Amino acid sequence: MSDQTQGPARQFQQECAERIADYAQDHAWHELSRAWMQRAFEQKYMYNFSWMGRPVIQTPIDLLAMQELIWRVKPQVIVETGVAHGGSLVFYASMLELLGEGEVIGIDIDIRSHNRAAIEAHPMAKRIQLIQGSSIDAPVVEAVRERVAGKQRVMVCLDSMHTEAHVLAELEAYAPMVTPGSYLVVFDTIVEDLPPGFFSDRPWNVGDNPKTALQRWLPSHPEFQVDEAFENKLMLTVSPSGFLRRK
């Protein structure tokens, strides 16, 4: 890029950074965002989308956020706990396909036969490896550790059981696999910011969720830092305080 084009590009990036810094101080907007996210959960808004034909239980803005991180890091491996319909696995695999290398490892205690069949028949299947079993069982963790061994760029996404104990165990197991400069993304930390009993049919709640797991875990792991600027840019996310960059 020539000096003539670098100047405007730098100016644009600086303007973006200044706007994002201002967002952090806009408390009224943050309250509106929290209220919007609560309504989105009430209406199961994030269940309505798909990626390349597979349901992806995620908000569009969080998908766009993951695209930015994948392009920034260019991971050779993305590890995701929690498979469901496989939409996020397909999304990550398609990003890696654009980059020309890499694989996605999807882990779930119960990969239903119809979902497995659809994932394995998908055009992006060549970049997806499925592992059935609890994400915190030693044999599963060891299998993943062996697959990421020697890779220079590894990203991890935690999106399975959202209780504090489970997420803590996942953090201990998978955070060491994240390479410096890459990201550990802990999904659904927003549970802590929703009303108590909001997920009445699930074992997680206010005081027992991914965010409380991070609050316990982060102080003893200074190699990871919450990317607050990235979160402030999003304004709407299911993962507040959940985008962690490894130094």
Give the pLDDT of residue 18: 95
Which pLDDT band, with edges at 50, 70 and 90, does 2 fall under? low
Q: Is 79 in contact with 144 (CB distance < 8 Å)? A: yes
Average pLDDT, stretch 194-213? Answer: 97
Nearest of 107, 82, 81, 79 to residue 92 by alpha carbon: 79
CATH of the domain at 130: 3.40.50.150
Distance CA 144, CA 154 (A): 11
pLDDT score of 159 more than 60: yes
Give the pLDDT of residue 7: 86
pLDDT score of 63 more than 70: yes
pLDDT score of 220 more than 90: yes
pLDDT score of 5 more than 80: no
Give the pLDDT of residue 4: 55
Nearest of 118, 119, 237 to residue 105 by alpha carbon: 119
Q: What is the largest CA-CA distance in the chain?
A: 58
Question: What range defines the domain where residue 139 resides?
Answer: 3-246
Q: What is the pTM of this model?
A: 0.95
Read off φ and ψ for residue 117, nearest 5 degrees. -60, -45
Number of domains in the chain: 1
DSSP type of residue 75: -
Q: At what angle do helices 164-174 and 138-148 cross, to 10 degrees?
A: 40
